[in-house]
Chain A
Amino acid sequence: MRCRRPILAALGCALATFAWAAPSDPGSVSPKRDLVIWGVSIGADSKGQSAVIREFEKRNPDVRVRILSMGAGQMDPQKLMTSIVGNVAPDVINQDRFTIADWASRGAFRSLDDLIERDKGKDPLTPNVSDYYEAPWKEAMYDGKVYAIPTAADNRILYWNRKIFREQADVLKAAGLDPTRAPRTWTEILAYSKALTIRNSDGSLKRAGFIPNFGNSWLYLYSFQNNADFMTADGKKCTLCTPESEEALNFMKAGYELLGGYENAKSYESGFLGKENDAFITGKVAMKIDGDWILNDLSRYAPQLDLGASPPPVPDDRYNKVGRFKDEKDTFITWFGGYSLAVPRGARNVEDGWEYIKFATSTEGRMIEYSAQRDWERRRGRTFIPRMLASRDANEESYRRFKPADKKFAAALAMHIEMAPFGKVRPATFVGQTLWSEHVKAMEAALYGKASSRDALVAGQMAVQRELDAFYSKSNYPVIDLAIPTYIAVGVLVIALVIGGIWFSRLKLGRLAKNEAMWAYLFVAPWVIGFVVLTLGPMIASLFFSFTQYDVLNEARWVGLRNYQEMFTSDRTTVLKAFSNAAYLAIVGVPLGLATGLAVAMLLNVSTKGMRFYRTLFYMPAIVPVVASAVLWTWVLTPDPSKGLINSFWKETLTAWLAVPPPTWLQSADWAKNALILQGLWGAGSGMLLWLAGLKGVSTTLYEASGLDGATPRQQFWNVTFPMLTPIVFFNSVMGFIGAMQEFDRQYVMKPSKDGPIGPDDALLTPVYHLFRNGFAFFKMGYASSLAWLIFVVIMVLTFTQFRLQDRWVHYETDK
């Protein structure tokens, strides 16, 4: 061991010099003004975007544009919010439009009205309302003010593979369907899907006719088509659950049932690849509803594809203009999404940010972008198809200048433009983000069959309504000045110090003792200061905040016990879910982990050759950094048996022997937690060390004595070894439960979808994750604090009762 130390030191030094030798950011001393833009990712292929930035820099020579990719490039709302709250906000943010109202309502974005007003008529680049489609422009407004300027505006149409339609003409005709055109109504598309779906002999899908939520439609599109509103006109009531939305959700459900259910379809989708092996290109899916962004890839990877583009099918009644739709003008309906550029509050360089926004959203700026992109694609021998824009003017210009030469792609683009006037947008409400995640949650719950469509939608609606009510009832609660409690705290601290000083000086201590005490106080000072500033103070603050409503950007309001009440009423299902998930992980996972550790320890307790090697190997998984392990296991647990390690074994054994199809692990609400437990077991080999220590600690005299009494090895295990080891079992079960409640990292990394529920049907949600989500993604400091105290109380109660119980059944050696 001694000789290893120099090696270790050398290794550390090498690593350090290696890292520090890296010149970090060579240009940090430039005299130019920095303009920080987030949410724009510049990849190898985004030449248009960088052309716009270069042109902007050329026109404004004293500005340096800094695009932060990775981390800030991928817009995570939690990231943006912490930066705004922490006063390190970017100057321009490229933000998904439907969330603008949300951010604006919290005062996180700056209104652009004054800037527009100032520059109107002076600067030709100033955005002009009349150039834009109405829906996207309105989407970027909140409370009558403009908060962002829309850029792209993607809408969705039905894409269909004409070749499959031709090949299956007989089947389609037999079903009474016309193989030369796309379905126009919901009933039709289901009939087409049924006729075009093919299965393998084992029942899995070989081709899906139409997967309702593959591509990009969600429940929103179908609901819009069915004239569903998600909010009342005054924005005070959420109407997620309406008969119209329910019908739309039932339509999706019917679409999935044709394919053998949602989970089956999901596991089919998990085998899909990208680029030239895209499922639609390879004919694994015959029809899909998707946005215009797929056109570029289609033209690049499948120029020969016989592509059909039609309006997305609508409810039968709408198509036939009967019933509710008798007086409806528009037959087909689509849904607009897209981004916009905004200025966050606290941006340091608003002027340059605004200049950039004006330039980047202008028709001129868009055309610079498109021609640069076109040139780049052309050089690489690829076609370029312009994206849909929110500005009518720019759209027409781009179609004129950049229309693809291939007729079928031109027709598809024309279809997108034709549908643009019939585009609806998600309601511009400050609960947009919640509405979105609740809609996803409700949709998944209903499609997984966890709840009826109605119940799922009602649950979502309630969650959204809760937030609406909280917002509108805000003014009923008194504002409190946070400075006062701070002053009180400082005052109490000062008084405590003074009292402490007086107490100390009154003590009758000798000179030496006094000297020693002074030194000792100095020595314990780091911990005492840390305790007061980082533990005690925050704890009191947290208790205080749990009675308030506070989002950092606006003033705090005293709401009394409302947060706690909310926890046990409207948010009860989610809170319960979080705690029951933790309980599952602890009850199933901890004993399995202990058993694994014990098994390994029993094996290693016999002294064999290579003990050191085995010990290292079994211990190694526990050393792997959590995030690395989670990334690795996400790949190991891929549902597709030709990719995922576990499922490839599963298919060879369990499927082959018992015909049990492999589970979809993290993709499935029932298996997601088991996936976590499996990943945890991998690291459970480390527990063997504890067992080893325990086993070796069992004194040999006990074995000798029992051996003399004629006990068999089995009896010895249960009557001698096991009771001696119970402290370990006890300790781990307490720690396991407490640990499971506070788990976060694995769940964050392994959850399959980046937004919406944490894992399918919130299967991966833990109490601390719920706290994190409320605290740092929504900045509901008050509610998150009350959650923190709930967790605190549960942990304390658990610890206390368990320590009480241990006296009863845990065997401690008395002489220790």
Chain B
Amino acid sequence: MITPQFLFAIGTLLAWIGWGLALSAVAKLARYFGGDPRIDRPTELRRAFISAGLGGFALIASSQTNLLTPTKATGVWRFPLTWFVMPFTAWLMAIAVVMIAVRSVQSFLAITPEERKEKLQTLFGWVIVIGIAGTLYFTDPTSKIEVLTGGIELAPATGAGLLFLAVAAVAGMTLAAQATRSREMARGLMSQLMLLVGSFVFGIPFVFALVTSFKEDQDMVSPSGGIVWIPRVQQTLPYLDKKTPLYAADFNGKAVQATVLDRNADGTVTVDIFKPLSIRGTTFQTDPAKLKEIPRDAPIVTAQLNSQEVTGFVTEELEDGRRRVEITEPASMKGQVQVFEPAQVQAVRKAGLRWQNYEDTFSYLPPETNNGLVYLKNTLILVIFSVIGTILSSAIVAYAFSRMSFPGKEALFKLLLSTMMLPAAVTLLPQFLIFRGLGWIDTLFPLWVPAFFGSAFNIFLLRQFFKNIPMELEDASKIDGCSYIRTFWDIMLPQIKPALAVIAIWTFMGAWNNFMGPLIYINSPENMPLSYALQLFQGERSGEPGLLMAFSVMTMMPVLLLFFFAQRYFIEGVTLSGLGGR
């Protein structure tokens, strides 16, 4: 009668109860330490223990019932897990069924007719929900319910260890909680713990990007499956290559590394550039006296030779992939040269950072961008002009709207407010035609000139600030005979510096992030800002995550630095407007 399925169902049910009790135990403990005076603390603690005990028992029991079903390894506790994957409509139906049951019981138990009526009303509401969800569910041909079953496998020793740890932790906390002072501490510890978990989740993509930007290609995929978290670098040795020496040379005023191709009849030599990568393979003629021999970086490897481990460095990679290795250790074989198959040699790598990725990123950028500095320059132009333009224009317009009176003010201001919700999409195409008419395609003008015409939102915001400045200040300056411009510049503007800083930061972020603008208007690398260059770099080097991450990290760095130093304004900005993170 007892089929494996039945047993599994029992086990699952037990496991669900177990998980639920365990979670509620944690919640009760949290409440116990929560310091809420209305809670009966000893009762709460007792309940927590009961929940934990029952939950643990249910979990262990569930792992036992499951022994009948085949597990992957013996001597393992397997806590069953079951979950339904179903469409949203099906979930809605399930919830509605439960709610209907609850409400009918409640209406049955209701004391007053009013209460019963209320419960029945909500019950009816849920029936409607079932109807709608059911129709949607059954008319959609793609909806299906999947049951996922599986389990977490734990060795008994590990399980017992975890259990012991949990018990120890609870006991420790109980003891600590005896005194109020240490209760505070326990509470602090708890929230610190949760914050740390949160930081981990939010921080790990950063760490991943940083680590990846320092990894060698072979670490991008680890043979064992997991992610490689500690980058390792190939160890090298300076090696003066006598066969094909490497030279430091000068190519149009640029320091390059090169090898000699030919010796010409007129005494010059033709050399072939090896580094930087962007011009690798370019050949030019030069005077041999100008060449200076420099060592190569020869990779260190180990290999088995006559069943003895030897260490050496690769002096040459042969055409067929074999490596010529000069042995350095053991001392008895030092200087010996041996040829190995590629599979025979093992690279010697140590934990370290591969800065080469950053160097390579620079040298892969087109030469006319001068190692990417031109991108940075363009972005800075955009940022600086946008910030100056936005601040000046918005402030002066806001000043007029808040402190001066003129006919038609109300109407104009209403017009301004109504443009605040206007999507940029509507004006995108005609604006392109306007800038085309001005001959501004492939220049930076379309990207920063509009900033000088103010933005409705900023004007609105600054107007509020101007309004809060006491009238006396302005009157005083008027009596002194200051012009409106002087009053604005000398008296009013300094009063709203914090608001200006916030707007400056928003504009900065907007200009630094602007991607669609450059995508539409910019063609040549000389005029490209960073954001667009990064996207193109991704398209070109999609197979090289090390370089990609290096470029990404370099693009985020300036913004993150600004954030660290001007954090106050970022945070003020959010609370100022309620427009957070946008």
Contact residue among B36, B416, B519, B575 (Cβ-Cβ distance under 8 Å from A527): B416
Q: A326 contacts the other chain (Cβ, under 8 Å)?
A: no
Q: B206 contacts the other chain (Cβ, under 8 Å)?
A: yes
How many whole Å from B518's CB to the nearest CB in chain A?
10
Inside 8 A of A324's CB, which chain B residues have their CB?
none
Q: B76 contacts the other chain (Cβ, under 8 Å)?
A: no
Inside 8 A of A507's CB, which chain B residues have their CB?
407
How many whole Å from B112's CB to the nearest CB in chain A?
21
Q: Is the CB of B540 within 8 A of A74?
A: yes
Q: A622-B581, A713-B36 are in contact. Are A523 and B399 (CB under 8 A)?
A: yes
Q: How many Å lie between the Cα of A576 and that of B406 in the bound state?
A: 47
Q: A274-B543, A527-B459 are in contact. Are A631 and B520 (CB under 8 A)?
A: no
Q: Is the CB of B425 within 8 A of A771?
A: yes
Question: Using an 8 Å CB-CB cutoff, how does the interface string of B426-450 with A read, 1 for contact, 0 for none?
Answer: 1111111110100101100000001
Inside 8 A of B400's CB, which chain A residues have their CB?
519-520, 523-524
Q: Is the CB of B220 within 8 A of A517?
A: no
How many whole Å from B74's CB to the nearest CB in chain A?
18
Contact residue among B206, B370, B421, B424 (Cβ-Cβ distance under 8 Å from A22): B370
Q: B75 contacts the other chain (Cβ, under 8 Å)?
A: no
- Residue on B with the closest CB to A507? B407
Q: A735-B582, A742-B425 are in contact. Are A47 and B404 (CB under 8 A)?
A: no
* Cβ < 8 Å to B, chain A residues 751-780: 754, 767-768, 771-772, 775-776
Q: Is the CB of B516 within 8 A of A744?
A: yes
Inside 8 A of A648's CB, which chain B residues have their CB?
225-227
Q: A524-B412, A530-B454, A609-B188 are in contact. Are A616 and B564 (CB under 8 A)?
A: yes
| Stretch of A83-91, A254-262, A329-337, A402-410 lying at the B interface | A83-91
Question: Using an 8 Å CB-CB cutoff, how does the interface string of B192-228 with A read, 1 for contact, 0 for none?
Answer: 1011001100111110110010000000111101110
Q: Is the CB of A771 within 8 A of B428?
A: yes
Q: How many Å lie between the Cα of A623 and that of B512 in the bound state?
A: 11
Q: How many Å lie between the Cα of A83 and that of B83 in the bound state?
A: 55
How many whole Å from A46's CB to the nearest CB in chain B?
9
Q: How many Å lie between the Cα of A475 and that of B485 in the bound state?
A: 58
Q: Is the CB of A660 within 8 A of B484?
A: no
- Residue on A with the closest CB to B450? A534
How many whole Å from B542's CB to the nearest CB in chain A?
9
- A-side interface mostly: helix
Q: How many Å lie between the Cα of A504 and that of B407 in the bound state?
A: 8
Q: Is the CB of B150 within 8 A of A72?
A: no
Q: A534-B431, A628-B555 are in contact. Are A799 and B225 (CB under 8 A)?
A: no
Q: Is the CB of B227 within 8 A of A74?
A: no
Q: How many Å lie between the Cα of A642 and that of B537 in the bound state?
A: 24
Inside 8 A of B282's CB, which chain A residues have their CB?
50
Q: A82-B441, A626-B515, A772-B516 are in contact. Are A539 and B459 (CB under 8 A)?
A: no
Q: Is the CB of A632 within 8 A of B561?
A: no
| Stretch of A234-242, A434-442, A789-797 lying at the B interface | A789-797
Q: A609-B192, A775-B429 are in contact. Are A748 and B519 (CB under 8 A)?
A: yes
Contact residue among B319, B406, B560, B562 (Cβ-Cβ distance under 8 Å from A624): B560
Q: B151 contacts the other chain (Cβ, under 8 Å)?
A: yes
Q: Is the CB of A88 within 8 A of B430?
A: no
Chain A CB count within 10 A is highest, among B81, B152, B373, for B373
Q: Is the CB of B221 within 8 A of A617?
A: no
- Residue on B with the closest CB to A794? B423
- Residue on A with the closest CB to B537? A70
Contact residue among B261, B513, B548, B579 (Cβ-Cβ distance under 8 Å from A626): B513
Tally of contact residues, A, Cβ under 8 A = 152
Q: A20-B377, A693-B575 are in contact. Are A552 and B484 (CB under 8 A)?
A: no
* Cβ < 8 Å to B, chain A residues 81-106: 82-83, 85-88
Q: A651-B225, A658-B150, A712-B38 are in contact. Are A608 and B191 (CB under 8 A)?
A: yes
- Residue on B with the closest CB to A745? B515
Q: B563 contacts the other chain (Cβ, under 8 Å)?
A: yes
Contact residue among A382, A659, A689 (Cβ-Cβ distance under 8 Å from B148): A659
Inside 8 A of B338's CB, which chain A residues have their CB?
none
Q: Is the CB of A689 within 8 A of B574?
A: yes
Q: A552-B433, A645-B205, A748-B519 are in contact. Are A72 and B524 (CB under 8 A)?
A: yes
Residues on B lying within 8 angstroms of A by beta carbon are: 34, 36, 38, 81, 83, 148-153, 188, 191-192, 194-195, 198-199, 202-206, 208-209, 212, 220-223, 225-227, 261, 272, 277-278, 280-282, 318-320, 365-366, 368, 370-371, 373-374, 376-377, 380, 384, 393, 396-397, 399-401, 404-407, 409, 412, 415-416, 419, 421-434, 436, 439, 441-442, 450, 452-454, 456, 459, 484-485, 488, 509, 512-513, 515-516, 519-526, 528, 530-540, 543, 545, 548-549, 551-552, 555-556, 558-568, 570-571, 574-575, 578-582
Q: Is the CB of B404 within 8 A of A526?
A: no
How many whole Å from A288's CB to the nearest CB in chain B?
18
- Residue on B with the closest CB to A72? B523
- Residue on A with the closest CB to B276? A44
> Nearest 8 A-B pairs (CB), nearest first?
A530-B453, A86-B441, A686-B581, A538-B430, A523-B400, A22-B373, A658-B150, A538-B427
Q: Is the CB of A617 within 8 A of B202?
A: yes
Q: A635 contacts the other chain (Cβ, under 8 Å)?
A: yes
Q: How many Å lie between the Cα of A72 and that of B384 in the bound state?
A: 27
Q: Is the CB of A87 within 8 A of B439?
A: yes
Chain B CB count within 10 A is highest, among A376, A530, A754, for A530
Q: Is the CB of B426 within 8 A of A642?
A: no
Inside 8 A of A685's CB, which chain B residues have their CB?
202
Q: A376-B281, A535-B422, A749-B538 are in contact. Are A18 and B373 (CB under 8 A)?
A: yes
How many whole Å from A565's CB to the nearest CB in chain B?
20
Q: Is the CB of A520 within 8 A of B404?
A: yes
Q: How many Å lie between the Cα of A625 and that of B152 in the bound state?
A: 39
- Residue on B with the closest CB to A732? B580
Contact residue among A517, A604, A615 (Cβ-Cβ distance under 8 Å from B407): A517
Q: A516 contacts the other chain (Cβ, under 8 Å)?
A: yes
How many whole Å from B543's CB to the nearest CB in chain A?
5
Question: Using an 8 Å CB-CB cutoff, how does the interface string of A592-612 with B read, 1 for contact, 0 for none?
Answer: 000000011001101011100
Q: A7 contacts the other chain (Cβ, under 8 Å)?
A: yes
Q: A535-B419, A657-B81 are in contact. Are A625 and B555 (CB under 8 A)?
A: yes
- Residue on A with the closest CB to B34? A713
Q: A22-B373, A523-B404, A617-B199 are in contact. Are A82 and B523 (CB under 8 A)?
A: yes
Q: A517-B407, A632-B552 are in contact. Are A44 and B439 (CB under 8 A)?
A: no
- Residue on A with the closest CB to B200? A617
- Residue on A with the closest CB to B401? A524
Q: How many Å lie between the Cα of A521 and that of B564 in the bound state?
A: 40
Q: Is the CB of A87 within 8 A of B277?
A: no
Inside 8 A of A744's CB, which chain B residues have their CB?
515-516
Q: Is the CB of B150 within 8 A of A657?
A: yes
- Residue on B with the closest CB to A651? B225
Q: A22-B370, A82-B441 are in contact. Are A45 and B281 (CB under 8 A)?
A: yes
Q: How many Å lie between the Cα of A9 and that of B271 in the bound state?
A: 46
Q: A784 contacts the other chain (Cβ, under 8 Å)?
A: yes
Q: How many Å lie between the Cα of A683 and that of B205 in the bound state?
A: 11
* Cβ < 8 Å to B, chain A residues 618-669: 618-628, 631-636, 640-643, 645, 648, 651-652, 656-660
* Cβ < 8 Å to B, chain A residues 734-749: 735, 738-739, 741-742, 744-745, 748-749
Q: Is the CB of B423 within 8 A of A535?
A: no
Q: How many Å lie between the Cα of A68 and that of B484 in the bound state?
A: 51
Q: Is the CB of B205 within 8 A of A710?
A: no
Instruction: With A631-B551, A792-B425 given, name 12 new contacts (CB 8 A).
Output: A4-B566, A8-B562, A15-B380, A274-B543, A519-B400, A521-B406, A523-B404, A526-B396, A623-B570, A658-B148, A689-B575, A742-B425
Q: Is the CB of A603 within 8 A of B195?
A: yes
Q: Is the CB of B571 within 8 A of A86?
A: no
